[in-house]
Structure 1
Amino acid sequence: MKLTVFGATGGIGQEIVRQALDSGHRVTAVVRDPVRLTVTGAGLEVVRADLTDPRSLRPAVAGRDAVLSGLGARGRKDAGVAARLTRVVLAAMEAESVRRLLVVSAAPVGPDAEGAALVDRAMRTVISGLLKGVYADLREMEAELGRSATDWTAVRPPRLQDKPLTGSYRTVVGGFPLGGRFVGRADVAHAMLAMTDDPGTVKQGVGVAY
């Protein structure tokens, strides 16, 4: 497939690029600073672009089979980034009639796991309070997806870890894995690539965790 990756220099973004290249896909990595992208490969095209201007992004998404985005806030001070930048990506995609989009959201944006223990619900409430602005941003991002014409999927991981790819994780469409508290960035990337051509995840939030 021909894929475009936004947020390609982030932890999940670089993993998406690396794993996609390893699987034989052609990848366009859209970045603000190419120096920060450490992944290389014969099927990789690196594009430096203004992420505030949909017109500048149109060539990077034109003719692609899917767009995957790791764009988002790195902390509370960046709240608002996810919705704002995703809005620009959506405008570029809709202008080029590209439909498939997968983005990274977060577990607290979606529903609790069915049958979740009280301690997990309490932990979720505390985390949501501490990062209120970040999760409000992600909820607005998901609302933008819902208003768009794209075939979107919002992937909702819990606390992220830097660990090697395992390929062993759980996903729940429209919900969240019971007892799931952690997941590695590499496995989130793996899940996103696996969902790219999965019609069952279209216009859905998908919880992913160990």
Structure 2
Amino acid sequence: MRVTVFGATGGIGHLVVQQLLDDGHQVTALARTPAKLALTHPNLAVTAGQLSDPAAVRTSVAGADAVISALGPSLKRSATGTPLTEGTQNIVKAMEAEQVTRFIGLATPSLADEKDKPHWKHRVLPVMARLMFPNALTELTGMTTAVTRSGLDYTIARITNPTDKPATGRIRSGFLGHDASGSAMTRADIATFLASQLTDTRYRRAMPAISN
């Protein structure tokens, strides 16, 4: 497949790109600073550009079979503005214009899926997020809304506590109140899950919670 990756220079995004290349996909990455990706491969094209530039976003999406967004907001309390929400809106518009329908991204269990049952995470996590990371929660809400209110064929994986430990190969996925799920998950396993959604149809237009 031809896959466009946003957030490719981040901790999860870098691993997503590597996983996709290992799986034999052709990858296009849009990066503000391409040198940060530090990957070279005959199936990888990295272009310089910003999410705030609709033309650059659309060019990177053109010809893709799917888009994977590994974008995540800053957890700094001093962070302001909603650049990722606006950037995600640009991605959605570009995908619609280029008739690319498959979107795979990230969010948090602070945001509920309609398939969830009542769960303590619905009560606790939003309160903690509003107190500790208010701007990050605003961004994640805006990013998710931009995708779920579109006509895109999306899967948004909800993660709680990404770690830099080695991949375990153990991935739990499902909906709160239905399926057993934890909180911690290695970034490598998150990347594996995101890449697997290119061909896995279980979570179409859904937001599974994932963990190790």
What TM-score do the two structures reach when normalised by structure 1? Answer: 0.88
- The answer to which of 70-79 and 8-17 deviates more is 70-79
Give me the whole-angstrom Cα distance separating, in 2, the residues matched to 1:93 and 1:165: 31
Go from structure 1 to structure 2 and tell me whether the alpha carbon gap of 1:201 and 1:79 turns closer, same or farther (over 3 Å shift).
farther
Quote the residue 1:190 is aligned against: 192
Offset at residue 69 of structure 1 (A):
0.5
Given that 1:115 and 1:178 are in contact with CA atoms closer than 8 Å, whether structure 2 keeps it comes out as no
1:109 and 2:111 are equivalent in the alignment: yes
> After the TM superposition, which parts of structure 1 deviate over 6 Å for at least 4 consecutive aligned residues?
none
Offset at residue 163 of structure 1 (A):
1.8
| Aligned counterparts, 1:1-210, within 5 A | 1-75=1-75, 76=77, 77=79, 80-110=82-112, 124=125, 126-129=127-130, 130-173=132-175, 177-210=179-212
Offset at residue 127 of structure 1 (A):
2.6
Give me the whole-angstrom Cα distance separating, in 1, the residues matched to 2:116 and 2:126: 13
> 1:55-107, CA deviations, whole angstroms, 9 ceiling, x for partnerless residues?
22222111211100011212241562332111011111111111101111112
Structure 2: tracts of 5 or more residues without a match = none
Offset at residue 123 of structure 1 (A):
5.2
SS in 2 for 1:187: helix
Give me the whole-angstrom Cα distance separating, in 1, the residues matched to 2:108 and 2:178: 11
- The answer to which of 39-48 and 12-21 deviates more is 39-48
Offset at residue 125 of structure 1 (A):
5.0
Cα RMSD, aligned residues only: 2.3
How many positions carry a matched residue from both structures?
208
Given that 2:29 and 2:47 are in contact with CA atoms closer than 8 Å, whether structure 1 keeps it comes out as yes
Letter in structure 2 aligned against 1:198: D
Given that 1:71 and 1:104 are in contact with CA atoms closer than 8 Å, whether structure 2 keeps it comes out as yes
Letter in structure 1 aligned against 2:89: R
What TM-score do the two structures reach when normalised by structure 2? Answer: 0.87
Give me the whole-angstrom Cα distance separating, in 2, the residues matched to 1:86 and 1:174: 25
SS in 1 for 2:24: coil
